[in-house]
Amino acid sequence: MHVITDFDWNMKNSLLLVDDNEDNLASLKAGFMRSGYELLTALGGVEALAILRERDVDVIVTDLRMPDVDGMKLLESARERRTPPQVIVLTAYGTIESAVEAVQHGAFNYLTKPINLNELRLQAAKAMELQELKRENIALRREIDQKYGFEELTGQTREMMEMIERLRAIADTRATVLIEGESGTGKELVAKALHKNSSRAPKLFMPIHCAALSDTLIESELFGHEKGSFTGATGRRPGMFELADGGTVFLDEVGEIPLSTQVKLLRVLETREFLRVGGTESVRVDVRVLAATNRILSEEVDEGRFREDLFYRLSVVKVTIPPLRSRAADIPLLVEKLLREFSSEHRRESVILSKRTLNRLMQFPWPGNVRQLRNVIENLVLFSSGKEIEIEDLPPELLNQSNDSITVAVGQPLDQVERLIIEQTLISAKSNRTKAAELLGISRRTLLRKIKELGLEA
């Protein structure tokens, strides 16, 4: 049997009657007295809107011509609801044109005055029926989304299942979420999944790579600028928060945001309002904010590089993605998925991994996590297509783990250890700083700063 969870079959169908004339409203009400519907009445459009702000209704019967908020406006705001009610408009003989227009804008039907109550009851019953079907459909679709919406996050270990369970619970809320995890664990993937499984899905998902923006440009990138606010600002430009209105902003590597910008970000999170650079007028947006960091943000707070108030604001909900090495049981599943993906993308025959090879992959510590695994698998498909892969065929960094290890002693000063590790990682990454930063799980910018501080430039 199929159980639909968030649809209440016993719920009474509700009917909202709207007319600005008291006598008309009373006779409409009398006409539905024995209908069995839950009856609501509103004396005019303003009252009707107030009711709709409070609750859902299934069907609205409304007069078209009313002062202030007329039937057309009511229809418009009804259509914007998550489960839009069916609307039947009532119109006097002279205004049939606008009634037809109402139907073109999504009204269920229109009836001309004087109202034939039998006909109206019949139409209302039909509208109720359609609404029930729609509600059922929406409930089903939600259930399907909840079951399958996170399929891109491959993983079957308990840690991953628990994380996905948490994600599901908070996906369709406005909660700010801080996503923590080492480099390559899937932070952006998680952020996208949260967006896709929310009612903001039709609107923009706007990733902002905070580390890639220079300190001078970051504010104008985030909040936009007014014409002439700085040299080169030749016109007004909206920022990313403005562009993402109605959608989701993803602040990647949020720990890299300079302190001066952090204050402004805090204000946006608190009020959803900001000023464009050089502007005086507040801009209001409806965005959900997700943030990611591959550092321990609380440590950044302790060291005075990140504002404590912003940290608390961001981490209302915290999701920590486990590193790949702590969920090795997911590796076979990931490998299988990646082999399929890359052989179809590159139109190559897949490869076969020997048992020993797969074991080696499961034992490897994967400092670059899923991203590193992806790279390895893509290379195998590209360069060894059709072959059976033995351990010897794996890329060198997976073979001689011992060559890449260094010894440190208990009590050795931390700055020395840091220097050693950075030095060795740079050597093993053949001085490729982007790659070294990735291996170390820090941003390129942080690495460059450390290289400078430790005098490792040569």
Ligand X SMILES: Nc1ncnc2c1ncn2[C@@H]1O[C@H](COP(=O)(O)OP(=O)(O)OP(=O)(O)O)[C@@H](O)[C@H]1O
The interface region with ligand X, picked from 135-143, 186-194, 243-251, 352-360 by CB under 6 A, is: 186-194
The interface region with Mg ion, picked from 188-196, 281-289, 299-307, 444-452 by CB under 5 A, is: 188-196
Cβ proximity to ligand X: between 126 and 435 the closer is: 435
Quote the least distance from Cβ 251 to Mg ion, whole Å: 11
Kindly tell me which residue out of 186, 224, 322, 367 binds ligand X, with binding defined by CB under 6 A: 186
Quote the least distance from Cβ 192 to Mg ion, whole Å: 10
C-alpha of 282 from chain center = 25
Cβ proximity to ligand X: between 363 and 434 the closer is: 434
Kindly tell me which residue out of 123, 183, 343, 425 binds ligand X, with binding defined by CB under 6 A: 183
Cβ proximity to Mg ion: between 74 and 194 the closer is: 194
Report the alpha-carbon distance of residue 66 to residue 18 in Å, rounded: 10
- For 254, phi and psi rounded to 5 degrees? -60, -25
**Beta-sheet strands, E only, within 65-209:** 86-91, 109-112, 177-180, 205-209
Residue closest to 189 by CA, chosen among 222, 155, 218: 155
- Pair type for strands 248-252 and 205-209: parallel
- Pair type for strands 224-225 and 237-238: antiparallel
Residue 207 binds ligand X (CB under 6 A): no
**Which string of x and - marks every residue 214-233 that binds ligand X (by CB under 6 A)?**
--------------------
Scanning residues 355 to 414, which ones bind ligand X (CB under 6 A)? 370-371, 374
- Tell me if 155 sits within 8 A of 333, measured CB to CB: yes
**Which string of x and - marks every residue 129-168 that binds Mg ion (by CB under 5 A)?**
----------------------------------------
Quote the least distance from Cβ 370 to ligand X, whole Å: 4
* Cis ω before 114 (30° cut-off from 0): yes
Binding partner of residue 196 among ligand X, Mg ion, none, CB under 5 to 8 Å per kind?
A: none
**Total residues binding Mg ion (CB under 5 A):** 1
The interface region with Mg ion, picked from 43-51, 164-172, 182-190, 394-402 by CB under 5 A, is: 182-190
Query: DSSP letters along 229-272, please?
Result: SSTT--S-EE-HHHHTTTSEEEEETGGGS-HHHHHHHHHHHHHS
Number of H helices, E strands in the chain: 18, 16
Q: Return the number of other C-beta atoms located less than 10 Å from residue 206's C-beta.
A: 17
**Which string of x and - marks every residue 287-316 that binds ligand X (by CB under 6 A)?**
-------x----------------------
Residue 157 binds ligand X (CB under 6 A): no
Q: Return the number of other C-beta atoms located less than 10 Å from residue 63's C-beta.
A: 24
Report the alpha-carbon distance of residue 319 to residue 185 in Å, rounded: 12
The interface region with ligand X, picked from 135-143, 168-176, 182-190, 296-304 by CB under 6 A, is: 182-190
Please state at what angle helix 187-196 crosses helix 158-171, rounded to 10 degrees. 40
Kindly tell me which residue out of 13, 91, 185, 262 binds ligand X, with binding defined by CB under 6 A: 185
Cβ proximity to ligand X: between 18 and 370 the closer is: 370
Scanning residues 135 to 154, which ones bind ligand X (CB under 6 A)? 153-154
The interface region with Mg ion, picked from 62-70, 121-129, 184-192, 255-263 by CB under 5 A, is: 184-192
Cβ proximity to Mg ion: between 76 and 188 the closer is: 188
Which residue in the shown chain puts its C-beta closest to ligand X?
Answer: 186
Report the alpha-carbon distance of residue 368 to residue 358 in Å, rounded: 18
Residue 397 binds Mg ion (CB under 5 A): no
**Total residues binding ligand X (CB under 6 A):** 15
Kindly tell me which residue out of 15, 17, 75, 187 binds ligand X, with binding defined by CB under 6 A: 187
Binding partner of residue 149 among ligand X, Mg ion, none, CB under 5 to 8 Å per kind?
A: none
Scanning residues 255 to 294, which ones bind ligand X (CB under 6 A)? 294
Contacts of the segment 208-217: beta carbons below 8 A, 24+ positions apart:
208/240, 208/249, 208/250, 208/251, 208/252, 209/252, 209/253, 210/251, 210/252, 210/253, 210/254, 210/255, 210/256, 210/257, 211/252, 211/253, 211/256, 211/443, 211/444, 211/445, 215/258, 215/260, 215/261
Report the alpha-carbon distance of residue 89 to residue 98 in Å, rounded: 10
Report the alpha-carbon distance of residue 80 to residue 211 in Å, rounded: 38
Kindly tell me which residue out of 76, 101, 143, 188 binds Mg ion, with binding defined by CB under 5 A: 188
Cβ proximity to ligand X: between 62 and 372 the closer is: 372
Q: Which spans of this chain sit near Mg ion (rule: CB under 5 A)?
A: 188
